A and B are shown apart, each in its own frame.
Chain A
Amino acid sequence: MANDGADTDLDRLVVAQIPHLRRYARALVGDRDRADDLVQDCLERAWSRLGLWRRDGNMRAWLFTIMHNLNANAVRNAKRRPGHDPIDEATFHAATPPSQIDRLELNALSDAIRALPEEQRAVVLLVGLEQLSYEEVATVLDLPIGTVMSRLHRGRERLRRAMAGEPAPSLRRVK
């Protein structure tokens, strides 16, 4: 069937955000399938609540908020279970590197992102990758803006040390 579900303006607004939701989810959870599952869960919830969305609202922030809440639940549940899911290395290392940043540095960055505390990772990615404003991030994560700023700074400091090859003391390598 050719129907892609985008049969109203609202639907189209949602569909337009799917690539961004996928990018963020991939960076947040690492594994491609789990990331798309998260995107799918987010979209299902969004479709079912579309009527509640305010037309003058920020669709992007709304969708990221839904995704954040779903992921926070998933992380909480995963913590109750033993064991870790394996990290899909291929998804990280398949991307094309830009000329200025070399492959080793990128690998170090992707490992370091995985090792970041969840709360810092979300802020670093929403700001640095998705380019949400600090205010939007505060809304999405339901945090005071001061907390957003301090998590952003601490997260970046950790990534910086990792990229420079310094092992952070509490850096946990997941193999």
Chain B
Amino acid sequence: MTAGAPRPVTEGELNALVDGRLDPARAADVERDLAASPEEQRRAADFARINAGLHALFDPVLDEPVPEHLRRHPPTAWHRRPWARGLGAAAAAVLLLVVGAAGGWYARDRAIAQRQEVAAILQPAALAHRIYVAERRHPVEVRAEEEHLVRWLSNRLKIPLKTPALDPMGFHLMGGRLLPTDRGSAAQFMYEDRQGRRVTLYIRSDLQGNRETAFRYVQDETGVGMFYWIDGAKGYAVAAQMPRQELMAIATKVYDDLEK
């Protein structure tokens, strides 16, 4: 190709040259054209300096150790920040589940549907919530006043259990019950406030897959919401019929108390 007279370099060409986005032949042409215009040449050099400056300023971030809470599926991160700040994050994790006529919970999100562990916590927790929250005379199997409640359920689930203190939110522990799972045992604790609203905490310790999930929120069409999370073999779900933010405060307290 013969070199013709220099022509003005366009903005697009100048930027593409700086960013190394031109093939070598084209780059050579543009550089030759640039040589005819000292001002454009300075501009290109300055743009290149900007790129170098950006790297000088921010490349050190690449060498920083990645904080542990960013490396894993997120439950651990909740220690770090209050839920109020996590509203956006929680919104990001919102998945609307619909309760079908048969009573099953169907995930709309394929990513979730594929994870059997999630179904293994969601479905039984939702079912147990619906059944026992409606129970007037026998909402719990063992009442909170009975000292052996926690020890008994800990033994059956083979993990040390604790009952989170939800008194700051106005909820007192009514008691708990042992529930069957397809592999072993699960526990449900129930709380109630003065207006008779009930919250259940469902725990199972026999999940497979050993993964961790984010703190997630689902809601059924009757307005029952549930925050749930998985930590290895352990799965937790906090369910109640109340505004999401209120339930979030409760779920956060549950999480914090269990992690203590």
Contact = CB atoms under 8 A, between A and B. Distances in A.
Contact of B212 (A5, A20, A96, A133): A5
A44 B72 contact: no
B46 interface: yes
B98 to A, nearest CB: 17
Interface string B52-74: 11111111111010111111111
Contacts of B85: 37
In this complex, the interface size class of chain A, counting residues with CB under 8 Å from chain B, is 35 or more
B50 A160 contact: yes
Interface stretch (A55-63, A80-88, A104-112, A167-175): A104-112
A15 B66 CA distance: 10
A18 B58 contact: no
Contacts of B51: 128-129
Interface string B5-39: 00000011011100101000000000000000000
Contact of B64 (A22, A50, A128): A22
A1 B88 contact: no
Interface stretch (B104-112, B141-149, B178-186): B104-112
A109 B19 CA distance: 18
Interface in A9-44: 15, 18-20, 22-23, 26-27, 36-37, 39-41, 43-44
Q: Is the interface of A mostly helix, strand, loop or mixed?
A: helix
A156 B57 contact: no
Given A52-B111, A101-B52, A109-B50, A27 B58 contact: yes
B99 interface: no
A153 B11 contact: yes
B74 A40 contact: yes
A171 B37 CA distance: 28
A115 interface: no
Given A3-B212, A26-B61, A96-B60, A50 B72 contact: no
A23 B72 CA distance: 18
A96 to B, nearest CB: 6
B57 A127 contact: no
A70 B92 contact: yes
Contacts of B47: 156, 160
A96 B111 contact: no
A163 B61 CA distance: 22
Contacts of A50: 111
B210 interface: yes
Nearest to B42: A160
A41 B66 CA distance: 15
26 contacts: A1-B232, A5-B72, A5-B212, A6-B71, A19-B64, A22-B62, A23-B58, A23-B59, A27-B54, A36-B67, A41-B88, A41-B89, A45-B93, A47-B214, A48-B109, A70-B92, A74-B88, A95-B57, A95-B60, A106-B53, A113-B54, A131-B19, A134-B16, A134-B21, A156-B46, A160-B47
Interface of A: 1, 3-7, 15, 18-20, 22-23, 26-27, 36-37, 39-41, 43-45, 47-52, 70, 73-74, 92, 94-98, 100-101, 105-106, 109-110, 113, 124-125, 127-129, 131, 133-134, 149-150, 152-153, 156, 159-160, 163-164
Given A22-B62, A106-B56, 20 more contacts: A3-B211, A19-B61, A20-B62, A23-B59, A23-B62, A36-B70, A40-B89, A41-B89, A41-B92, A45-B89, A51-B110, A51-B113, A95-B58, A101-B53, A106-B57, A109-B50, A129-B55, A149-B11, A153-B11, A163-B46
